[in-house]
Amino acid sequence: MRIEEVRNKKDLRRFVFFPEKLYSNNPYWIPPLWIDEIKSYCKNHNPILFNSDFILLLAYDGDIVVGRNLVYVDHKFNQYYRSRTGLFGAFECVRDIHVAKALIDKSEEWLKTKGMNVVRGPIHPIAESWGFLYEGFSSSPVFMAPYNPPYYNELITKLGYSKVKDLLAYEADTQEGYQIPDRFKIFGNNLLTRKHNISIRRINLKKLLSEAKNIWEITNIALKGNWGYVPVDYGVLEDMIKKLKRVLDIDAVWFVEDAGRPVGFALGFPDPNIIFKRIGGRMFPFGFIKLLTGIKKVRRYRLIDLAILPAYQNMGLDALLYIHLFNALSPKGVELEVNYILENNAKMRNTLEKLNLRLIKIYRVYEKSLV
């Protein structure tokens, strides 16, 4: 067995397509769009890697790939936190502690040469997903959320890593009888009646760039105190909008405004993973047609972000956004997954639990000292 860096296009294809073989018999794993995936490991096509030093590692048993890892130093993260934290993502491995140890040892050695004293992950800058799935293995992931076998958590803890944070996912499924509690419907109506300056609306697709800028500005103010937050470059947001533009549904993106000024938003989308699975992650020759025609029939949605400016928090605007989003989507018979919710975000968890959403998944981020 040996560990090698990815140095050419052939190596990169081995790296990118390894999960397809690893999960070939797993009914829950979802392939990415391969054409986007392979581009995103290039600095010029990924705004996070553009600002990072990184290596791609492959583990070989003879000529057979048995593991991979992406290891990187995000300079903006370390500048913001005045830290020396290395990161890893895209970790995949057969169930073998020796393979995992070889990959992680090589990853840590490289990070030490870069002056890092802590390693944290998985934080995957290609899939834009955080953590190993820790609970909730009997369903497929939504877009931009991870899936992995349970043994990844066992491997990483045996290698000296410990939990640094859990991220949670909640679900509301209309086909299982979910409804918004009546008291919240009454609250939402009363709020809009009492606060004449507060209004709520869907996204305006004719002004998509300015709407994206609204989301960007609110995000960088509202989420500033959150664990793991780093100021979001506009390029990162543009990259996300490109990914979501194919599947955008105006019923799933809402703004709350004060006298016409956006002060909060809820960003959701129909989950394209269902179609990615049907087409095997391949857009050609007919995958793109199935994606375009099939996305309107998808009933599973993800709420990826909900943020309110600090001056408007504790007014119930988060519940107001959720109520309008869900009311718009419920005629479609949706199953809505809300993630990631930080385990210590008591306000958001309290709101979701009072709205009778069900905790369905836990993702775990790990950390280890390198000194």
Q: What is the mean pLDDT of the chain?
A: 93
Share of the chain above pLDDT 70, in %: 100
The residue to which tokens 């179609």 are assigned? 275
Interatomic CA distance for residues 128 and 116, integer angstroms: 22
Per mean pLDDT, which of 54-63, 217-226, 274-283, 345-354 is the most reliable? 54-63
pLDDT at 169 > cutoff 80: yes
∠ CA 333-352-299 to the nearest 5 degrees? Answer: 20
Superfamily of domain 179-355: Gcn5-related N-acetyltransferase (GNAT) (3.40.630.30)
Report the pLDDT value the prediction gives residue 320, as an integer from 0 to 100: 95
Domain range summary for the chain, segments of one domain joined by +: 2-168, 179-355
Report the pLDDT value the prediction gives residue 151, as an integer from 0 to 100: 98
Considering the segment(s) 2-168 as one domain, its CATH architecture is: 3-Layer(aba) Sandwich (3.40)
DSSP-assigned letter for residue 77:
H
pLDDT at 76 > cutoff 80: yes
Same fold, 2-168 and 179-355: yes
Coil/strand/helix, residue 122: coil
pLDDT at 75 > cutoff 90: yes
Count of Cβ atoms closer than 10 Å to residue 83 Cβ: 13
Interatomic CA distance for residues 73 and 197, integer angstroms: 45
Q: pTM of this prediction? A: 0.93
**CA-closest candidate to residue 255, choices 197, 314, 215, 210:** 215
Pairing of strands 85-93, 118-121: parallel
Report the pLDDT value the prediction gives residue 342, as an integer from 0 to 100: 95
Report the pLDDT value the prediction gives residue 157, as an integer from 0 to 100: 98
DSSP string, 270-321: E-THHHHHHTTT--TTTHHHHHHHHGGG--EEEEEEEEE-GGGTTSSHHHHH
- Segment 286-325, tens digit of pLDDT: 888 898 889 889 999 999 999 999 999 989 999 999 999 9
- Segment 200-241, tens digit of pLDDT: 999 998 888 889 889 999 999 998 889 988 888 877 777 777
